[in-house]
Amino acid sequence: MHPRRAVFVIWLCFTARAFFYSAALPLWEGFDEWAHFAVIQRMALRGEVLVSRDSPVPRDVQASLELAPLPWDLRNLPQPSVTQDAYWNSPDEERHRREAAFKALPAAWGREDAVGGLPAYEALQPPLYYWLMSPVLRLAGDASLGDRVLLLRLLSSLIASLAIPLVFLIGGTVLGDDAIAAGCAAVAAAMPEFAIDIARVGNECLAVVLFTLLTWMVLELMLAGLNYSRAIFLGVVLGLGLVTKAYFLAALPAIVLLLAYEFWRARGRRRTVLISGLIIGCTSAAFAGWWYVRNLLTTGTWSGLSEALMLRKMGAGTMLAQAGAVDWRGAIDAILLSHIWFGGWSSLTVRSWMYHVFYAVILVAAIGLVRYVRQPPVLALLAIYGSFWAAQLYNVMLEFLSKGVAASMGWYLYAVVGAEVTLAIAGLSALFPKKWRHWAAIIGVLLFTVLDLYTVHAVAIPYYTGMIAHRPDGALAAVHFDDIARVGLHAAVQRLEIFKGIVIRDPLLIGLWIFYIMATVGLMVIAARLGKVRSEAGSDDS
């Protein structure tokens, strides 16, 4: 299979997988999904260009939070809200009453404020994603709430899928081998937490694509050098990213390092480098500067995020003095765990040894990467990836000082999925003979496809259909054949349909599941065929 044709098939596989996740995940199971949706709906149905962070959620969203089974992390919401665990333990009559009430929610409630409900707190996020989604939601008209959520989930998945060819471009630029670069794209497409992260209503899908595009552009600048047109393009992408998600601030140190490196090596073109840097700064500020100035004026912080707001009176010295109290090992473990697989807002996890398999692979890849550490493209990826990790650790400090929790959200690392996968494949392939370097991508795809198939069928679906629940200590019970027999496969499919609107029905859900299986297994087949192409090429070279 030609690598460039393979990338197109990998893109289709990723899209099929993301569509299944979009349809199968319960309502509001995505991280902060209901709050993101509430912001879009206020923009779409009320014409609000910017939504106040104190605005109440629409009445239909609040009603859904009181009717639908909610993720485990929302278990502290007051009654009548219930978690998945409590919902499936309720009498049949109570479940049927809730489902009927959800189906009967008036479309007009989308234009009304909830009384005494929750605030649409994701309004503190930059607005670009919400601006893009609001016209689509407006076109949905009086569709049911479940169908509107599904529509935005599918569109978000399509947007995120653009990251797959970009990962291929990054891999090809660094590794110089289209077959292995296509393997990098296959690894990214197989990551189960990546699918969970973007198959929801939320700005992560757009942020991932823009950050991956930014990563590829930085690589191109390292190889081709700075000029004014490239500087404008980079400034535009950075500006769009900054008005999509605040974590684009983490890209600034890497870009400054890039400019400093270019200034050092371009002895006869230093004036061009300086002007290019000014162009990047001015262009990005033209797109996003207004948002951050607005945050500073209204909240006293640049990001405007709630944790920064809580700590705005705390000086940097005071924060640093508290760094020794943080359990950094536990924080890093929490980041990696929630990056590999965290099962959505119900915080589902798997056995610890499964995570440690991935930890071991990460360690081996890091050892192998030492071989390439002096190459400019690898240095550029390390600067981007390292800057983002520094931002994650800074967020650990914010979470610890504001909430007493030493952790950060590992799914944010999918913003740098292009850098991460390429660095990992480069490190692993360095440990193989040239002829067998394709095995690095095959191992990555194999590990993630096995993890994905296991977590979907042995953890997520059993939990979402009431086969298993959390134990008193908060751990999730393992599924057994007795649990499956008690519910039954047909009933399980029907339970996945609830609170989804009128579009998701048995035939569609089963069809999406079949395509999901074909796409997931297909990624392994594609990786093996790419390996065969690479192996034959290696034999010819020798």
Distance between CA 444 and CA 425 in Å, rounded?
A: 8
CB 352, CB 434: distance < 8 Å: no
What pLDDT shows up at residue 472? Answer: 84
Give domain limits for the chain. 3-158, 159-541
Q: For the CA atoms of 53, 58, 64, 66, what is the dihedral angle to 10 degrees?
A: 70
114 vs 109: CA distance, rounded Å: 9
Buried b or exposed e, range 276-309, using 16+ CB within 10 angstroms: bbebbbebbbebbeebbeebeeebebebbbbbbb
Identify which of 133, 126, 131, 145 has the alpha carbon closest to the alpha carbon of residue 59.
145
Show the tokens assigned to 521: 């297994």
DSSP, res 83: E
Q: H/E element holding 179?
A: helix 178-190
Given this model, what pLDDT does residue 542 score?
Answer: 42
The C-alpha angle 250, 255, 259, rounded to 5 degrees, equals 155
3-state SS record for 477-520: CCCCHHHHHHHCHHHHHHHHHCCCCCCCCHHHHHHHHHHHHHHH
CA distance 382 to 260: 15
Which segments of 25-91 does DSSP mark as H helices, in order? 33-46, 59-67, 84-88
SS3 category, 69: strand
d(CA 420, CA 524): 20
For residue 540, give both structure tokens: 């010819």
Which parts of the chain register pLDDT below 70? 1, 532-542
Q: Is-above-0.85 flag for pTM?
A: yes
pLDDT confidence of residue 245: 97
3-state secondary structure 230-278: HHHHHHHHHHHHHCCCHHHHHHHHHHHHHHHHHHHHCCCCHHHHHHHHH
